[in-house]
Amino acid sequence: MSDRLTVRKTYKLYLGGAFPRSESGRTYEVHDTKGHFLANAAWASRKDGRDAVVAARGAFGTWSGATAYNRGQVLYRVAEVMEGRAAQFTEEVAAGEGLSPAKARAAVDAAIDRWVWYAGWTDKLAAVLGSTNPVAGPYFGFSVPEPTGVVAVLAPQRSSLLGLVSVLAPVLAAGNTAVVVSSKERPLPAITLGEVLATSDVPGGVVNLLTGDAAEIGPWLAEHADVDAIDLAGAPAPLAMELERSAAGTIKRVLRAPAEEPDWSADPGLSRLRPFLETKSVWHPIGV
C-alpha cells in the first residue's frame, strides 16, 4: 500500500479567464456529506464580486458580438470537455450531494446534455422569438431578440452541477456574460467547471465563478449599477425579497427565487432564455 500523502487542494476563484485568490485572503473548508474533508475553497468578497463584474462587462462586447452559430460551437465545446472529465465530476457530485455513483453519473450526463441543448438554441432564438411585424407604410418592421448584458447568477445550493449548468448555460446562449456565485457547501463541481471553461474556447471574462456565501456577495451584486439582470435561483429564502428590492434600485431584470429548488432534470424549455433577452424594434424602408 502506498504511503504517499495526497495533495491538499486550495482552490481559487475564476475571474477574467484567470484563477486568482480572493483579495480578502479568506478560504473555507469543504466537506462531503459525511463530514470528511475534501478541499479548501476561496471565500469571495464583495471586492471579488466587483472585479468579476468588470471582467464580465469587458467581455460582453466580444461575446454578444460573436455570431450565434459561433456561440453555439463554443458551448458545444464545453460539453465535449466535460465529457472527458465526467469521472471527476461524478466523484465530486457524489461526495457533495451524497448520491450513489450511478445517480451522480446520471446528474453529470444530464448536465453535459444541458450544454448541448442550449448550444443548439443559440442560432434559433432570432427565428423563434423574433418577428416581422405588419406596418401601415412602406417599411419593414422587425422585432429582434438581443442579450441583456451582464447577468449575476446565484446558483442553486443543492444541485451543485446540473442546477448550476441549468442556470448558467441559458445566460450564455442568449449572448450575455455572467457572474456566478456557486453553491456554498458544494462548490467543487463549479470549480471544476471553471477549469473546463478555461480550456473550452470561452473567452476570458464571459463566465466568472465565485465561491463563498451568496448571502454575503448577493446584496452587492443586486445593487451593482453595472449588473443588468440577476437570477435568484440560489438566493437564501430570507434574503430573496430584499435582493429584489435592491435590484429595483438600478432597474435590473430579476428572475425570482423559486419557492423550493425545482427538479433540474425536467425539460427546461425557453423559460430561462426569455428573461435575459431584450427585444429591439427595427424599421427599414422597403425601397422601390
Name the residue among 234, 226, 287, 282 with its Cα closest to residue 260: 234
| Alpha-carbon distances of 26 from 12, 42, 129, 157, 180, rounded to whole Å | 10, 6, 44, 20, 18
Instruction: Please state, in angstroms and rounded to a whole number, the distance separating the CA atoms of residues 32 and 91.
Output: 11
Instruction: Please state, in angstroms and rounded to a whole number, the distance separating the CA atoms of residues 11 and 183.
Output: 14
* 238 band by pLDDT with thresholds 50, 70 and 90: confident
Instruction: Please state, in angstroms and rounded to a whole number, the distance separating the CA atoms of residues 207 and 229.
Output: 15
* Element counts in the chain: helices (H) and strands (E): 9, 10
To the nearest 10 degrees (0 to 180), the angle between helices 86-97 and 101-121 is 120
Phi, psi of 177 (to 5 degrees): -110, 160
DSSP for residue 192:
H
Half-sphere exposure of 281 (CA within 13 A, CB side): 6
Instruction: Please state, in angstroms and rounded to a whole number, the distance separating the CA atoms of residues 118 and 269.
Output: 10
For residue 31, what are the β-bridge partners?
37
* 284 band by pLDDT with thresholds 50, 70 and 90: confident
97 in helix, strand or coil? helix
* 241 band by pLDDT with thresholds 50, 70 and 90: very high
Amino acid residing at 124: K
Looking at the domain that runs over 27-285, which CATH code has it been given?
3.40.605.10
CB 165 within 8 A of CB 114: yes
Buried residues in 14-36 as b, exposed as e (16+ CB within 10 A): bbbbebeebeeeebeebebeeee
* 56 band by pLDDT with thresholds 50, 70 and 90: very high
- Average pLDDT over every residue of 200-205: 96
* 132 band by pLDDT with thresholds 50, 70 and 90: confident
Domain residue extents for the chain:
27-285
Instruction: Please state, in angstroms and rounded to a whole number, the distance separating the CA atoms of residues 92 and 86.
Output: 10
- Average pLDDT over every residue of 64-73: 97
Residues 80-128: pLDDT tens digits? Answer: 999 999 999 999 999 999 999 999 999 999 999 999 999 999 999 999 9
Torsion of CA 177, 59, 211, 197, to 10 degrees: 90
- Average pLDDT over every residue of 8-31: 95
**Confidence at residue 1, expressed as pLDDT on a 0 to 100 scale:** 57
**Confidence at residue 288, expressed as pLDDT on a 0 to 100 scale:** 62
**Confidence at residue 39, expressed as pLDDT on a 0 to 100 scale:** 96
* 285 band by pLDDT with thresholds 50, 70 and 90: confident
- pTM, rounded to two decimals: 0.94
DSSP for residue 276:
G
Residues 25-38: pLDDT tens digits? Answer: 999 999 999 999 99
Residues 140-172: pLDDT tens digits? Answer: 888 999 999 999 999 999 999 999 999 999 999
Predicted confidence (pLDDT) at residue 286 exceeds the cutoff of 90: no
Residue with cell 480572493: 22
Q: Any idea what the Cα angle at residue 181 is, between residues 25 and 84, rounded to 5°?
A: 100
Name the average pLDDT for the chain.
Answer: 95
Instruction: Please state, in angstroms and rounded to a whole number, the distance separating the CA atoms of residues 68 and 175.
Output: 8
Predicted confidence (pLDDT) at residue 2 exceeds the cutoff of 70: no
Amino acid residing at 229: A
96 in helix, strand or coil? helix
Predicted confidence (pLDDT) at residue 287 exceeds the cutoff of 80: no
- Average pLDDT over every residue of 65-91: 98
